[in-house]
Each structure stands twice: as structure tokens, then as C-alpha cells.
Amino acid sequence: MPEIPAGFTDPDLAQDPALLRSLLGISDLLVVVLDTEGRIRLFNRACEKVTGFSSAEIVGQSIWTTLIPDDEQPAVQEIATRLQTGEADNQFTNHWLTRDGDRRLIHWRNAALVDKDGKARHLVGTGIDITELDRTSKALAGHQVQLHALFNALPALVAEVDSDYRIRFANQGYRDWFGLDPEAQIGQPLAKVIGERAFATLQPRFAQAMAGEIAVYHGEVPYTLGGKRFIHGTYVPSRNDDGVVDGYYILSVDMTEQHRLREALEEETRRFRTIVDNAIVGVVTIDESGVVQDFNPAAEKIFGYRADELIGRNVAKLLPEALAGSHDDFIRDYIETGKKKIIGRGREVVGRHRDGRPLDLQLAVAEFIDGRRFFVGFIHDISQREQAEREAREHLAELAHLTRVNALNEVTSGLAHEISHPLMAISTLAEAGRMMLDKPEVDVDTILPVFTQIARQGQRAGEIIGQLRAFLRKDQSDQLEAHEPEQLIRNVLALLNHELVSARVKVRLDIDDTPICCVANRVQIEQVVFNLIKNAIDAMRSVDGDRTLKVSCSHSDEDGLCSFVIADSGPGIPEVDMERLFHPFYTTKEQGLGQGLSICRSIIDRHGGSIRAHNHRRGGAVFEFTVPAGPTD
């Protein structure tokens, strides 16, 4: 019973020579049989097709002289020898030469046909022509190399990850960034490379890519290495030959610096916007055809228009009708000639409010180029400034008056005494006069001086009341007039006479011999002198020894100023308090308001003078202030 080869169930079929012929004829496999000398014994249809040789012409020829290229002979010989010397089968890839002299790459599976002694009689080879496959895979490999070279050159991080989130490929940038060893990168878990926290942040995008979609992440990622970075990442599914997603590409750009710059720029823009929006000056930006680009809230307030009513319109709306028509010409003229009439310098102009009324404005214009030319106008409403000044002046006058009343409150008893003095004298003198008149003989020579005395005392009381009234007058004008400083000082000394006497203060008045004149508001300067002398008396009450008040006034031609100096022999001013001495509410007195010196400074500022204090080296405080001097003739 003949042996049935494996795979056959039908012994007849296995023995049928037609089967072998048919197989050899239709198979795409190359089948060649050689004898031990290397002569070709069988050469099937597929071999004919690949080489162009017919079986008839090649059978009987040596394979070495016909088909095997010289350079491959030793290697192929070795394979053949191995089969002849006992190897049952082997595989090999080598070239065959065709009739046209081309080379085809064939992958072979070879076996030896042995006789019953186990000796090789024939060698059988079955082969597949892999020339095209080889070419394609070489081309593919070339592409891959090119692609990787491209990836490496990209200023981005590029990697490919498989479906288990393991690195398949990482470009130079990626490797450098994550400190990956070029050899060791393949197969590393992505979570280990980028860190668990970064992995968790990006995981939803990875999953999206694995599901076949292109995913994008734009934001911060907490990497283990390098900390938080702002990235733009794109995750593109990668597919195998069957089109099935088996991983994804990572394309990631580190945008931290750009992001930082952008944020800084946005912050800067926001800050600029805040400054412009909150500026107390109106800011109006126009382009070179006079069309309004920007109109800040202060400008809205000045002109009475809302920004949206003006943006996109011509700026002429903000000008008086007479000028509105010529503004465009004005800009054109500047653009053509480059002659600056207003740019870079401020000047006063007249604008127009929405309700038509003219506005007094201070205008400064700057020019800037941002792609095209723009002009920015900085506008100050002077009418408002004047009003604010008037209000400040009235406020000061009000405050000054209040402090005057307050100051006088403190000296009322003294003043009452001052006035009661002459009144008492008058009544005593009147009584004496009446008694003289009662006498039968009236001596006119003795009685006359009594009346003169009465008149003088009456005058004195009247003067004190007059000064008091003048001092208390509510004066809101800023009117400056020429005054003799000595007179102003004496008026104040009269008001404070009782205080000085009761505090045992000696007064030394030191006025320039030459006539002096100051240009000032009388009530205000008297208030300054009053506050300073009152403070000096208060300060000296705390010293037991000498209490001397020195008041002097001099005139300096050089700077055209009149200088008043009020010095005392009190304890002086602690150095640490020197700085805040003139601040409102600074006081060391139990009943003090801390307004006196602050008002003195406001008054002197308004006069265009200055006031300062220091301690005398022999003790005591010295206050000095100046006001403009006037003509003395």
C-alpha cells in the first residue's frame, strides 16, 4: 500500500501525475528542481514568467551560469551545499537574472529530495518574486526616514503613541524636552514620560484621538519636568494597514512664552484702557480723515455725547460751527506740509457741547502711527477747572472764617476785658466830670481834659470792636491790596493784647526802618499772623522763664517779597513733627483743631508766597512766611 502524502485523502489523486502538472502550471509560486550538479531539471510556468526563459531552453542548463548573478554565487552555493549535506530545508533570498539582464529578488524555501539511502538526489526550491514588495518597502522605509527627519526638524514636539499609550516614536524636540534617551524611548509608557498629572489632564484628548478623531488641547499642562507649561497640542489618530486606529500622533507646541507675552500685552492694554477710561482729561482719538476712533468717559462728560454717538463720525461735531468746516483742511495741511500748529504743544481752544454751548478747553495733541496715522487729543475743560478753583477758594474762605470764629472764642474773655477797660474808664471819667459840673464854679480848663479822655477811651473801645468785626468778617474775595505790614501786625496784637498780658509775654516788634508794603488780602494775612502769635502764646505758657515774642517784618528787593517772622521762647517743635506740622488735624493741644497752620499754608500759597518753620538754636519756634511786596511810594 503506497504511502499517502499528508493532506491527501484520496490515494488515487495522490498518485495522479496530472495533479502535479496542473499544480506546476497554475501556481504563482516559482518551482525549480536542480540535480546535485546544479543543472535545472524542472522550471515551472511561474519561473518562465518571471525570467522570460522558456522551460525548453533552460532545462538541462546549469543554474550557476544562467540565473544566479556572480556576486551572489558563493552565498547561494553555501545554501545548496547545506541541503546536499543533510539539511532538510532552508530559506533564502537571492536574485535571479532574467533573459533581459534584469534582476528579480526571490524569496526561496528549499528542500532536498533524498533517495532511500538518505542521500540528496535533487534540490527543490519554491519561491516568491518579492522584487516589487522590496521596492515598496524600501521606498516606504525611505519615506519613514524622511518623515522622521522632518519631524526632528520641526520646532514642535512630535511623538507617536500606540494603543497602550506607549511611545512608538519621539522626535528630537520631544526627546530633548522630556530628557529621553534616543534608544530607550521606544515602548516607554507615556504617563511615565510626561508625568501622571499631565497625563490625566490630556487623557480626554488622547481618548478622542484613539476613537478616531483629531483632538486639540490649548491650555496649561502640569508637567513633572519643567512644571506648568502652556501648550497647543494636536492629537491625530494613526491607523494600521487595515485602517484601524492603533495609536495616535502627538504634535505639541510649547507656547508658554507667547502666552506670557500675550497675557502681559493684554494686561498692558487693560491697564491702558483703565487709565484712559478713568483719566480726568478727555481723550479723543481720530484718524487722519478726522473720524473719531475713541472717546473716553471724561470726554463724554465734557462734550455731553456718548462714545457710541461719536465713534465713526467726524470730529467736527465737537467744534464750534465756524471752525467745524475747516478742521479737515487743517489735518490735510499738516499731513502735506508737516507743519505742526498744535501737535506737541497745548493751547486753549473753544469746543462745542452737545447742547450747543461753547466750551473753554485746553487741548494738547499727540500723533502716533499704528499701521496708519492717528491723532490723540488730550482735553481739559478749563471752565470746570475755574469752577473747581472758585469752589476751593470759597471752601478755604469758609474754613478760614470758622477757624477765626473758633480762635476768637478762645480769646473772648480777654477781648471783653479789653473793651471793658475803656468802658470802665469812660464811666469813671463821666462820673468825675459830672461831679465837676455839680460844683457852683465850673472850671473849664480842668473839665476839658476829662472829656478829651472820655472821647479817647470811647475811640479805643470802638477801635477794638471795629478790629474784631473786621477780623470776623466773612471775606470771600481774593482781593489783594497794598498794606503796611506793621499795621496788620498791630491790629492782631491789639486783638490778642489781653492774652499776651495775662500770659506775661513781652512783645518785641522789629520792623524795617524803610517803608514796607505788602500786596495781600488783609483779613487773610491778619488771620495768619493771629494764628502764629496765638500758637506762640500757647507754647510759651508751658515755660516758666522768659516769655518773649519777637515779630519782625522785612522786605527783600531781590525777590520782591515781604517776609514776616514770628519767633517765641517756648519749647520749640519736636523735630519728628516738623514734617506734619502744616498737615490738617495735626495738633498736640487738648482742645486743638489742628486747622490753624494748614489754613495759614493755604492762604500763603494763594498769595504766591511760602511758609516754613524751624527751631531757633537758642530754643523756641520760628515761623516765617512771605507774601509779594508792593511799591512803597
Site string (525-544) toward ligand ADP, x via CB under 6 A? ------x---xx--x-----
**What CA–CA distance (Å, rounded) separates 66 from 55?**
13
- Quick check: 254 binds ligand ADP (CB under 6 A)? no
Asked whether the beta carbons of 493 and 529 are under 8 A apart, the reply is no
Pick from 582, 315, 628, 610: which is nearest to 485 by CA?
A: 628
User: DSSP code of 568?
Assistant: -
Query: Near ligand ADP by CB under 6 A, which window of 142-150, 244-252, 258-266, 580-588?
Result: 580-588
Minimum CB separation of residue 492 from ligand ADP in Å reads 14
Pick from 380, 379, 365: which is nearest to 288 by CA?
A: 365
Among 573, 603, 611, 629, binds ligand ADP (CB under 6 A): 573
> Judged by CB under 6 A, how many residues of this single chain contact ligand ADP?
20
CB atoms within 10 A of CB 234: 19
Q: Which is nearer to ligand ADP, 290 or 594 (CB)?
A: 594
- Quick check: 549 binds ligand ADP (CB under 6 A)? no
DSSP 439-481: SSS--HHHHHHHHHHHHHHHHHHHHHHHHHHHHHS-------E
- Quick check: 621 binds ligand ADP (CB under 6 A)? yes
Among 593, 606, 610, 614, binds ligand ADP (CB under 6 A): 593
- Quick check: 588 binds ligand ADP (CB under 6 A)? yes
201 Rama class: left (phi>0) / alpha (psi -120 to 50) / beta: alpha
C-alpha cell at 178: 522630556
* Interacting residues with ligand ADP between 264 and 293 (CB under 6 A): none
CA distances from 111 to 84, 126, 517 (A): 9, 9, 137
Q: Which is nearer to ligand ADP, 34 or 621 (CB)?
A: 621
**What CA–CA distance (Å, rounded) separates 114 from 148?**
51
- Quick check: 161 binds ligand ADP (CB under 6 A)? no
- Quick check: 499 binds ligand ADP (CB under 6 A)? no
Asked whether the beta carbons of 603 and 400 are under 8 A apart, the reply is yes
**What CA–CA distance (Å, rounded) separates 9 from 12?**
9
Q: Could you tell me which residues come within 8 angstroms of residue 612 by beta carbon, excluding any fewer than 6 positions away?
A: 623, 624, 625
Among 297, 320, 594, 619, binds ligand ADP (CB under 6 A): 594
Minimum CB separation of residue 532 from ligand ADP in Å reads 7
Query: Near ligand ADP by CB under 6 A, which window of 212-220, 367-375, 472-480, 581-589?
Result: 581-589
- Quick check: 363 binds ligand ADP (CB under 6 A)? no
Q: Which is nearer to ligand ADP, 508 or 589 (CB)?
A: 589
Among 206, 381, 568, 611, binds ligand ADP (CB under 6 A): 568
Minimum CB separation of residue 268 from ligand ADP in Å reads 44
Minimum CB separation of residue 445 from ligand ADP in Å reads 51
Which residues of the shown chain bind ligand ADP in the complex (CB under 6 A)?
531, 535-536, 539, 568, 570, 573, 581, 586-589, 592-598, 621
